[in-house]
Amino acid sequence: MADGRLYLDYNATAPLLAAARDAMHDAMALPGNPSSVHAEGRQARSVISRARDAVARLCHVPAAQVTFCSGATEAANHVLTPDFRMGRSAVRVSRLLVSAVEHPAILAGGRFAADQVTVLPVDADGRLDLQALEAVLAGHDQSTGQAMLGLQLANNETGVIQPVRAAADIVNAYQGLLVVDAVQGAGRLALSPDDLGADFLILSGHKIGGPKGIGALVSAGETLMPAPLIRGGGQEKGHRGGTENLVGIAGFCAAAENAVHALDGIAAVASLRDRMEAGMRELAPDVILHGTKADRLANTSFFSLPGLKAETAQIAFDMEGVAVSAGAACSSGKIGESHVLAAMGADADLGAIRISLGHDNTIEDIETFLDVFGTINARRIARQAKQAAA
């Protein structure tokens, strides 16, 4: 609780860590351009080098395989492209496959034309249909170029963890590429391109307690890389032009260093989530908890209350001092039908409320949430009784 309010929306953005704030403050005082060769420039460059090392440790890759950019959306637009280079040779990708529950930054298809993008179905819990993936890859004409799969590690709304390793095995069998949106997995799941079978990972700083406006594209190697999205003065080894966001990168560094150790406390977060869901079931036996038959992120719960639209519930929670989301916070505050629920065959018109916890949340926070949930649910029941009597 802060200022009398309860924040339960970590999947939208995690509060800025004190260490990240301090690192950004220190970086603001550095006068040099990281590309300059004098002492001031080298001092700025050292901040970027430390951050690159921190993100690399988080993803278990060499530091040279980390490219900083303005965020996960830019990273997606960078890597989702038909044009790659392997050394001096051009590599063509002619087909992009995405699951129907991807973040809009992936569903938009990056630099692929609309007719080059295939949307794959998911099951009732939101997991990629692996048979559909294999069928599309089997029918792909590789003479036109390779196929690429863009797949999230974990869904931002439901928290459902995708079968990434199994998908990677299928993609590799057809000589395709795999891009994994690891934004929600960082600090909550182990990250390694090798273990996941991924060619690229996408990360976002503000999801792990860093500042907004900074992210990274992490590659499994240094040889195969996408054509630059932003061309300029050769920064980031020529992969991303423009003077680096030193202040943002400094904050990202502190957040990545923290995220390396965050898995140590993830079981405690899972315990809070499980207590919360048990309490909701006790108060509202008809509550619908989405994705519970699949493996989920330890911090995420996505639920619907029959007869109560998600946007109405979100406003009610907000008025009671509890910050939650009605789906994903990625459309300038717009609340619309959840494409994730629609893909799962659930009631997308009713919508759902997402609770996403952080390491700072406590059992007292959960009890406060359940008190508010009980109040909102009681109003729902009273309204339904009144409507039935009318």
- Residue 142: give its domain's CATH number: 3.40.640.10
- With respect to residue 1, please indicate whether it lies within any of the assigned structural domains: no
Are 169 and 43 members of one domain? yes
Are 269 and 225 members of one domain? no
Are 147 and 238 members of one domain? yes
Are 61 and 136 members of one domain? yes
Give the pLDDT score at 337.
80
How far apart are alpha carbons 205 and 227 in whole angstroms?
23
Give the pLDDT score at 72.
98
- With respect to residue 287, please indicate whether it lies within any of the assigned structural domains: yes
Give the pLDDT score at 330.
52
Let me know the angle formed at the C-alpha of 297 by 296 and 300, rounded to the nearest 5 degrees: 100
Mean per-residue pLDDT pooled into runs of 10, the chain (390 residues): 84 98 98 96 98 98 98 98 94 98 98 98 97 98 97 98 98 98 97 97 98 98 96 95 98 97 94 98 98 97 96 97 80 69 94 97 98 98 90
Are 95 and 178 members of one domain? yes
- With respect to residue 249, please indicate whether it lies within any of the assigned structural domains: yes
Handedness of CA 122, 124, 126, 130 (dihedral sign): negative
Give the pLDDT score at 388.
87
How far apart are alpha carbons 383 and 153 in whole angstroms?
40
pTM above 0.75, yes or no: yes
At 52, list the tokens: 């690159």
Domain's final residue, options 233, 261, 289: 261
How many domains does one find in the chain?
A: 2
Give the pLDDT score at 176.
98
Are 148 and 40 members of one domain? yes
- With respect to residue 383, please indicate whether it lies within any of the assigned structural domains: yes
Rounded to a whole number of angstroms, the CA Rg of the chain reads: 22
- With respect to residue 150, please indicate whether it lies within any of the assigned structural domains: yes
Are 207 and 281 members of one domain? no
Are 209 and 110 members of one domain? yes
Kindly tell me the burial class for residue 204, based on how many C-beta atoms sit within 10 Å of its own C-beta (0-12, 13-18, 19 or more). buried
- With respect to residue 114, please indicate whether it lies within any of the assigned structural domains: yes
Catalytic residue numbers?
Answer: 330
Give the pLDDT score at 328.
54
203: nearest Cα among 101, 54, 91: 54
We report the CATH number of the domain holding residue 311 as 3.90.1150.10
- With respect to residue 184, please indicate whether it lies within any of the assigned structural domains: yes
Give the pLDDT score at 75.
98
How far apart are alpha carbons 63 and 51 in whole angstroms?
9
Are 343 and 194 members of one domain? no
326: nearest Cα among 344, 352, 297: 352
242: left (phi over 0), alpha (psi -120 to 50) or beta: left
Domain's final residue, options 261, 293, 309: 261
Domain's final residue, options 234, 261, 288: 261
Are 214 and 67 members of one domain? yes
Q: Provide CB contacts within 8 A for 87, sequence distance 6+.
A: 223
- With respect to residue 33, please indicate whether it lies within any of the assigned structural domains: yes
Containing structural domain, residue 342 = 6-15+264-389
Are 212 and 138 members of one domain? yes
Are 44 and 157 members of one domain? yes
Q: Provide CB contacts within 8 A for 150, sequence distance 6+.
A: 76, 80, 96, 97, 98, 102, 106, 179, 181
The label of the residue with tokens 């995690």 reads 14
Give the pLDDT score at 390.
77
